[in-house]
Amino acid sequence: MAEQDLAAIARTIIDANQYMTLATADAAGQPWASPVFYATADYAEFYWVSAPETTHSRNLAQRPEISIVIFDSTAPEGAGQAVYLSATAEQVPDDDLDRALAVYPGSAEGGLAPRDNREQVQAPAPYRLYRATAYEWSILCPRDAGPRDAGPRDAGPRDAGPRGTGACTPHGVPFDHRVQVHVVGARGEGGGRRRR
């Protein structure tokens, strides 16, 4: 499958979903996962609102390196696909709030009006706007259709179509594996649309 086709799969998943799962860790390495409502305009910067006191917000303040997974949890077993991201995260600084609020929570055509009030995400309000800047994207590499594998499987979301016992065409690998995709340009320009 061509690289542009794999990138199109990743962009479609990002555009079609509303929640992503953040994987963070505290200073001691204790992991924590949390779903958050997100918006993106370019497939590189992902925005969400959280309270600074939540576990994931405290974790990323100590360790800004995070992982993200975006997937459709309603897909039947064997028919799901996900985008996996590696990113750095931060609370959006006050001098960048206007740009961020132009993206979050999404577009009016999707039924969501952009926030027009900086005070909703600044003290003394209880919430802040956060941003993850992705530097790596991957999806499960599609494999040839066929009978389902009888052996152990990754418990994560599965790729589109039946999971066959055949090898994937590009790599010749007969088991689920991730493949990196490039969903944005070399300078972080995705050409994506604002979700919703």
Residue carrying structure tokens 């001098």 = 95
**Domain extent listing, the chain:** 3-142
User: pTM, whole model, 2 decimals?
Assistant: 0.80
- Amino acid occupying residue 24: T
pLDDT at site 158: 42
Long-range contact list for 7-12, CB < 8 A, 24+ apart?
A: 7/181, 7/182, 7/183, 9/81, 9/139, 9/160, 9/181, 10/43, 10/83, 10/137, 10/139, 10/181, 10/183, 11/43, 11/183, 11/190, 11/192
Q: Is 14 helix (H, G, I), strand (E, B) or coil?
A: helix
CATH superfamily entry for domain 3-142: Electron Transport, Fmn-binding Protein; Chain A (2.30.110.10)
Give the number of other CB atoms < 10 A from CB of residue 72. 14
What Cα–Cα distance (Å) separates residue 169 from each residue in 5, 77, 86, 142, 174?
Answer: 13, 22, 25, 8, 10
Q: What pLDDT was estimated at residue 94?
A: 93
Task: Give the residue carrying structure tokens 């009030």.
Answer: 117
Q: Residue 118's pLDDT is what?
A: 85
Residues for the chain: how many in total? 196
Strand partners, 65: 88
The pLDDT, as a whole number, for residue 115 is: 57
| Residue ranges in the chain whose pLDDT is less than 70 | 1-4, 107-116, 143-166, 185-196
